[in-house]
Amino acid sequence: MDSAPQKLPKEESKGPAKSTGFVLKPKKPTSAWIYFNTEMVAKLKAEKSLERKDAFTKSAEIWKGMSDAEKEPYAARSKGDEERYKKQLRELETNGFFLTEDGVKSTDLKVDPKKKFGADVILPKKPLSAYLFYTTENVNKIKDEQSCTHTEAMKKCGELWNSLEPEKKAKYEGQHNNDVTRYNN
């Protein structure tokens, strides 16, 4: 089985084909408000034991009441991040890639295949675990034998799996290993 992503066939073409090249763009700059809010929400949650939503609301109220001088440290951080963004855009334009803050080339970063190849990409299925092979085979049997719900049958499957002898688990581990081999080839 080929593990490379595949595109679904298009039903009809609407004009010339678009370039399939994907370019990872730099992360947009963070605003002063986001810097403040991230810091303040964490502080309010820790100090006043507020829920996230309440801390967020309180943070917004504090932000609205702050003077420009009090907002300046966050504005400076935002300005610095805007410079980073512009620098990375220039690097992307001249080199075809940009360096992250860690010094990693953007072309070496892991990219979600759905972003790279489009939303209609078909990704290979990941291999099933030995436990999933076991439950697939046994959950319906347990439901029928014990006249229970699917949830109860799954709980029972978990208990049975944990008490299963290694020799009996080997059958399902073999199925898992075959699935892994198919996935990697």
DSSP state of 47: H
Mean pLDDT of 132-150: 93
Alpha-carbon distance of 60 to 53, in angstroms, equals 11
pLDDT tens digits, 107-123: 888 877 777 777 787 77
pLDDT tens digits, 3-31: 555 555 555 545 443 444 567 889 999 99
pLDDT in the model for residue 20 = 46
Residues with Cβ within 8 Å of 92's Cβ and at least 6 positions away in sequence, in order, are 23, 25, 26, 98, 106
Beta strands in 70-173 (DSSP E): 121-122
Which pLDDT band holds residue 61 (cuts at 50, 70, 90)? very high
CATH topology of domain 25-111: DNA Binding (I), subunit A (1.10.30)
- Tell me the pTM: 0.51
pLDDT over threshold 90, residue 79: yes
Copy the structure tokens of residue 76. Answer: 């400076």
Residues with Cβ within 8 Å of 137's Cβ and at least 6 positions away in sequence, in order, are none
Mean pLDDT of 67-79: 96
| Residue-range domain boundaries for the chain | 25-111, 130-184
